[in-house]
Amino acid sequence: MRAVGDSALGISEIVLGGNVFGWTADTAASFDILNAYVGAGGNSIDLADSYPHWAPGCTGGESEAIVGEWMADRGNRDDLVIATKVGKFPGNYGLTQEQITSGLEGSLRRLRTDYVDLYYCHLDDEQTPLEETLETLAGHVEAGRIRAIAASNYSSARLQAALDTSDRLGLPRFVAVQPQYSLVVRDEFEGPLAELCAREGLACLPFWPLAAGFLTGKYTSSDVEGAARGRHVEAFFTARNWRILDLVRAIAEQYGVAPTTVAVAWLLARPGVTAPVASVSRTAQLPALMAAKGLTLDPADVTRLNEVSAT
């Protein structure tokens, strides 16, 4: 288990992304995935109040409701680290006092719990003063509804401003950030944001470590039509990224593992990364993901991956 920032939260080396629940995984499949993940030693689930509002027939909150039903069925809430987010729910975009309080109440109701372990601001709201956002979050922390707070989709400048505001007012600080980070997208974290995290002691829990599935190697330029993640995956179809994937496949074959395992193992070993957030739509996809915890890549292979993905 790994700590998150200065908090006492102990999360798994791999956090299970819950955005697929109610979308590409129905309730029964979601329960199977959750059971298998916990059975493999995982304890951390990443959600948002808006997941999966983009899916046909969904309005947002379905993923939380599925996890809430599963926790109630198993009676295992206190064994888990539950993260969810506020700020992007359809009709409740933003981080005002009212929007945060309404969003949190909805999440707690759907999750059937009275607290969230890690609560993210899902998207920076530059129209709302940082003081209002942070003071509202502080009130919920004091009331025991939130154990720790975090930020997603913040620039390094705005994240620093938020930390400075917390320090100035004596409020809880963000303890973690969630940027996109993978072999094919390195520049969103590496550089100013990584330097800020190191300087301020923030954990990095990156999303899309497999680039929406591109780094699993299961997609080709001809088979994304009709796929649930098709438009996201297709955005990664560049000559550079195919070269990266070719090397990932070659190294995976060398180790006798899946490309997924190599891509996530590389990320787990990156400076500043606490735990990647990754989702699966079927239990059969989980072993390759969880195997990354036990794979130590040879330094020469790490160098090859670093070089092919550097430009």
Catalytic residues: 51
Q: Measured between alpha carbons, how far is 193 from 203 in angstroms, rounded to an integer?
A: 11
Nearest to 266 by CA among 301, 290, 236: 301
Which residue has tokens 């009130």? 139
The CA radius of gyration of the chain, in Å to the nearest whole number, is 19
Nearest to 194 by CA among 129, 133, 270: 270
User: SS3 for the chain, per residue?
Assistant: CEECCCCCCEECCCEEECCCECCCECHHHHHHHHHHHHHCCCCEEECCCCCCCCCCCCCCCHHHHHHHHHHHHHCCHHHCEEEEEECEECCEECCCHHHHHHHHHHHHHHHCCCCEEEEEECCCCCCCCHHHHHHHHHHHHHCCCEEEEEEECCCHHHHHHHHHHHHHHCCCCEEEEECECCCCCCCCCCCHHHHHHHHHCCEECCECCCHHHHHHCCCCCCCCCCCCCHHHHHCCCCHHHHHHHHHHHHHHHHHCCCHHHHHHHHHHCCCCECCCEECCCCHHHHHHHHHHHHCCCCHHHHHHHHHHCCC
